[in-house]
Structure 1
């Protein structure tokens, strides 16, 4: 059994609950710009004091509407500034926040409202208000009303502020200070990739401890000299945790509700730090390669990319030499590498950084494992990526690379006050300030924790001697073939998914004599790929409403075959896919195969394509 603890102390004294993070910032830096808010084509700055005033106004309205301490309020909206206002206003009024993904179906909304016994709703647009209203009606819940972030006569946030005009500041202060670190701050439903979503109870102490731990570990990254853009869903705990950290430490925040607008907005916003998913980084890498191809510089780009990887590898070795137990002067890169890197920095890397706004100090990648080679290349291009690992149940990151000590292929070391343990069967167990006390329903807590209080993540991994965690798969995804071979499919799947044409890859073979693969295409990437090659008949690819469609195009088959062969080359024969199918499916939440955070619902997906899987074992599909 392996175990590593970060002994750095997290001091939560002086913070009675999560609202103190804002109150302390208002008292110390009232005029600091906390947010950039979209205002037509421009961005309007909002100070910490102005944000606090808006929070107070909405909090008073909630009290006037009848919200009682401990009442639960649903938030259903895309990522936007008003979400931040509503989140804090609910806490200032003494309530508990229940975030609902804006893409949720009517049935899902109704189920969440009933399960959490929600009393009031705040929606982003008219459609969200309608979904919440119908959800309350479906569950027969007594409600205090549903309010809109968008303008809506008689029922928007401005009307809520007017409703609370007679509520005194002292009443809000009494409500705000009522909660302790042990009280519930929010109830967040897990994504449900392998089972039904569970209601995770996250306390004020979880948020406060997480914010202070991450802020202490990343002072070079999160500070009042920088700014960021949040485009991940605020219904997800990662984006909310990031927002709290930035607000507490004075990092300026801009929100974007449409992830497709991010790249075009970066030159104007010029962030110093971004939280992204590996998929975003894969698309940035692919776009840079395509731009080089269009300028007939494809071969030179490949050399530039290899040079970037080599420089990234050197940089990590240099960091290890400087920070290691026998640390000394930083070694210098070989002359040839320095010359090549300088040339390609001028030709390619600088332009890549400019695409990200030109000021990025660090990216943080989460939600899935990042391909080590892509991490090394970005480091070599002057865009270091801090990879982290966390779950809803850990209130966002439980591990992460330290700036200046990135180790590609791992997800970093425990944050201050956290412990990571590897059980005898390889499962990752965690304990620390951000680890939640349990699920809302006691039945879900059975087997969720070890007898000594470690949360069982259901992920598989290992620790090195310095505490860096490497993830190797999911406990429930392990495949046992008919020959008794146990295989974790994560390495093959991540290798295939590193190609931007691929949205998801699944290795199958439970109880079968060998393994086969399912390759689920990314429709947008395929259209871009086809357009660049002048292939018109792939531009109209339409996924089926249910299930998945096999794609039998020779041009795509050739492209994906190369990806699968490269993935197979990393593994032993018994861990390789013999045959594979190229598939297209609806990758919106409505399609039923992905979660709101775009993670694959593995069991649901494979059940829906059982006939295709069976066909692979009868010679159908493509040979790998």
Structure 2
């Protein structure tokens, strides 16, 4: 194995529980804005000071005590990212309870499994639909005593109920919470089977946040201003919890946006105007495609593409300079970049509020080209890495030596090894306590103090980690060729027409791809064809044009790999994965096994079509990589 570790942690060790952050902030900076609530009428934001948040958390904690919630009890929160989520979470931590996040779109079976497996005594849900979902499984949950609905004032009722509880009771409970007490039972996404409940301690959740704040906080806070983050990622997943903890412990103003539609999120970003963006690759990909589509719709597509290439070239030249491999951008490149800064880049930054200094992308690898583009327009995106089992992030880019296309180096105090088979192993204070009720799974994951992540990657000579995929996702063809699908899938998704791509090919003669199309861009693309003739003729010509366009995207993706690893057949599916049940996790990750099962007939037909003699290719230079499958057959 290759082993890398950085300096010891720079952050002060945690002495109590995470709820202490609220109370300590109120003591130190009582009038500092801590949270911001969206005004449902005017669309603006109402700031809530640290002392106001503390009082709301304390009053809610008294209500929990009155409802019989005690230290060690597990309480689920099944809601979108909203103000009440953060209040209830910290109130539960105040009384020593453990939070069990559940994504609000989880199915009935998923909700039943998590509530039963974690033995929850209460659950807070958002709306009537969620109440009905929980109600339908209550008979199998003998320990569940409370179902609180946020939209009907359940938290206000708890506060009223707790009015008779003295504040000293809450303070006493808060003071007995230890750093190694379990704070959260977070369930894995379940991409390869039943989800597992990861026990995460207060110390584990705080450590990566405190380390990042100690070393990188100044990069997200403008001079003489308070930094701000718009939380829109699900708080039901560890990445969202990491964002929440960073804001609360770092004194960053935190706003909540529960609606993830493009109009709602765009409006929230432009009104809240965050200084830092915590996001995922799919959001950055959609943002790039939105820029491209808008420029094409206004007749400025060529201008945008030149500006985008200049941004990538400029960022790459800057990267070579900061890593000691070049002299930086030349005069011509600097002049071009300055021109596009005035005409293009500042307008692009305005789409996310105009104040974003940097960003972090997590959940899956961010493509190097995309990272260079955003750095080139003035938003450096740190491609982070972490798992539910590591309480969030475990790597970061060293300041002044950032390297796009990698996830950086291990955080101080964390060690990373890469095994002979390419699997990444992690050791450090943020590693989880184990899977609740599943000692066998815990033993399989924790080996001599090291967490076997199941992820594949490699460390370069300077200790920068690059993620190449998941061990369980590797496609092995009948010829014995192993192909990690992540890089090819990401390259395909960069094409504006392609929404999702899943590589297949286990025990097949070659690698294939299932592709879904982006509905918005597809409509725009069709409108721009301007085909003539009767309806059947136009439809046939449109299908041919679309097939050729996807063929070009596949050929472009294949240019980065060997022929043995390349996509030789593909099939465009009739609808996105999110329109089909159970193909995506609540965090929008593809369940590969479910996709393969659901589209078994399409996969079989795709390979059968390849075995038949192919018709003459209409564009030899496009399809020369191999005989393309007729994706509309």
Residue from 356, 372, 392 that aligns with 1:376: 372
Distance 2:350 2:582 in 1: 37
Verify the 8 A CA contact 1:400 1:412 in the aligned structure 2.
Answer: yes
Residue from 587, 605, 627 that aligns with 1:615: 605
1:114 aligns with 2:116: yes
The Cα of 1:29 is off from its aligned counterpart by 1.1
1:101-250 matched pairs, under 5 angstroms: 101-135=103-137, 137-152=138-153, 156-223=154-221, 225-250=226-251
Distance 2:384 2:204 in 1: 18
**What secondary structure does 1:425 align onto?**
coil
Give a deviation string over 1:391-418, Cα, whole Å, max 9, x none.
1111111112234332111111111211
Q: What is the aligned partner in structure 1 of residue 453 from structure 2?
A: 457
Distance 2:528 2:169 in 1: 61
1:355-504 matched pairs, under 5 angstroms: 355-440=351-436, 441-450=438-447, 452-504=448-500
| Runs of 5+ unmatched residues, structure 1 | 325-329, 537-551
Verify the 8 A CA contact 1:398 1:418 in the aligned structure 2.
Answer: yes
Verify the 8 A CA contact 1:386 1:402 in the aligned structure 2.
Answer: no
Distance 2:574 2:409 in 1: 37
1:592 aligns with 2:582: yes
Distance 1:270 1:101 in 2: 26
Q: What is the aligned partner in structure 2 of residue 327 from structure 1?
A: none
The Cα of 1:430 is off from its aligned counterpart by 0.7
The Cα of 1:525 is off from its aligned counterpart by 4.2
Distance 2:141 2:280 in 1: 39
**What secondary structure does 1:30 align onto?**
coil
Q: What is the aligned partner in structure 1 of residue 551 from structure 2?
A: 561
- Root-mean-square deviation over aligned CA pairs: 2.1
Give a deviation string over 1:579-609, Cα, whole Å, max 9, x none.
1001134533861100001100001111111
1:318 aligns with 2:325: no
Give the stretch that moved more between structures: 112-121 or 518-527: 518-527
Change (3 A) 1:495 1:39: same
The Cα of 1:472 is off from its aligned counterpart by 1.2
The Cα of 1:12 is off from its aligned counterpart by 4.3
Distance 2:190 2:589 in 1: 9
TM-score (norm 2): 0.90
Distance 1:580 1:300 in 2: 32
Distance 2:13 2:285 in 1: 41
Change (3 A) 1:337 1:623: farther
1:506-545 matched pairs, under 5 angstroms: 506-530=502-526
Change (3 A) 1:500 1:170: farther
**What secondary structure does 1:434 align onto?**
coil
Q: What is the aligned partner in structure 1 of residue 252 from structure 2?
A: 251
Give the stretch that moved more between structures: 216-225 or 494-503: 216-225
1:9 aligns with 2:6: no
Distance 1:533 1:160 in 2: 59
The Cα of 1:270 is off from its aligned counterpart by 1.1
The Cα of 1:11 is off from its aligned counterpart by 4.4
Distance 1:21 1:532 in 2: 54
| Runs of 5+ unmatched residues, structure 2 | 533-541, 611-627
The Cα of 1:23 is off from its aligned counterpart by 2.2
Verify the 8 A CA contact 2:418 2:459 in the aligned structure 1.
Answer: yes
Q: What is the aligned partner in structure 2 of residue 91 from structure 1?
A: 93
Q: What is the aligned partner in structure 1 of residue 622 from structure 2?
A: none
Change (3 A) 1:140 1:288: closer
Give the stretch that moved more between structures: 429-438 or 612-621: 612-621
1:325-336 matched pairs, under 5 angstroms: 331=327, 333-336=329-332
**What secondary structure does 1:219 align onto?**
helix
Q: What is the aligned partner in structure 2 of residue 307 from structure 1?
A: 310
**What secondary structure does 1:584 align onto?**
coil
Give the stretch that moved more between structures: 435-444 or 422-431: 435-444
**What secondary structure does 2:445 align onto?**
coil
